Amino acid sequence: MVQSLKKEGQTEVSALADPRLQKLGAKKQGQGNRHKARELTLQALYQSDISGDDISNAVDQLCIENHGGRADLVYFKRIAEGTWSRLAELDLLIADAAVNWTTKRIATIDRNILRQGVYELIAEVDLPERVIINEAIELSKRYGGKGSKSFVNGVMDRLAREIRKS
């Protein structure tokens, strides 16, 4: 998020105009793009899951809000729309791996972290499974509840072994 800094009698200055902050952003640019895209995907999935609306509304709005930001918007759109288009398939896989849990019983945030992680395991074959699992765990630590990290890790590990058998 770009914050504006304004001192009395001065014009407004973007925080990104500060060269020290630009250097920080440059260090994270390569990895931060997809991480931020995953955060946006989670936001779009969660919003659509709660509202019952098609994901295209959430994706369009988030693209507008994040235009010019750090997120890889092409990756975001591909993952969000791809995940949404295969919800039934993903939910079956998750339910099979989450022993004694139906997808409806799984917390909404955890369910959507798992959906996007499982979609990436299936569709993003060039990404190492450890990267996908670690990203799902990071999202669960940041946005999930107390037991989210362990739950997401366990389900993602089971599904990664099944999906990426080779």
Flag whether 123 is in a domain: yes
**For residues 128 and 39, what is the distance between their CA atoms, to the nearest angstrom?**
19
Flag whether 97 is in a domain: yes
**For residues 42 and 145, what is the distance between their CA atoms, to the nearest angstrom?**
15
In the predicted model, is pLDDT for residue 159 greater than 60?
A: yes
Flag whether 1 is in a domain: no
pLDDT digits (tens, 9 = 90+) for 116-151: 999 999 999 999 999 999 999 999 999 999 999 999
Flag whether 21 is in a domain: no
pLDDT grade for 108, boundaries at 50, 70 and 90: very high
In the predicted model, is pLDDT for residue 1 greater than 50?
A: no
Flag whether 141 is in a domain: yes
Contacts of 13 (CB under 8 A, 6+ apart): 4, 5, 6
CATH classification at residue 60: 1.10.940.10
Flag whether 120 is in a domain: yes
pLDDT grade for 84, boundaries at 50, 70 and 90: very high
State residue 31's pLDDT score.
Answer: 39
pTM of the entire structure?
A: 0.79
Flag whether 22 is in a domain: no
User: Which range of residues forms the domain containing residue 108?
Assistant: 31-163
Contact criterion met (CB below 8 Å) for 44 and 11? no
52 backbone dihedrals φ, ψ, rounded to 5°: 80, 0
Question: How many domains does the chain divide into?
Answer: 1
pLDDT digits (tens, 9 = 90+) for 8-54: 343 333 333 334 333 333 334 343 499 999 999 999 999 999 999 99
Flag whether 24 is in a domain: no
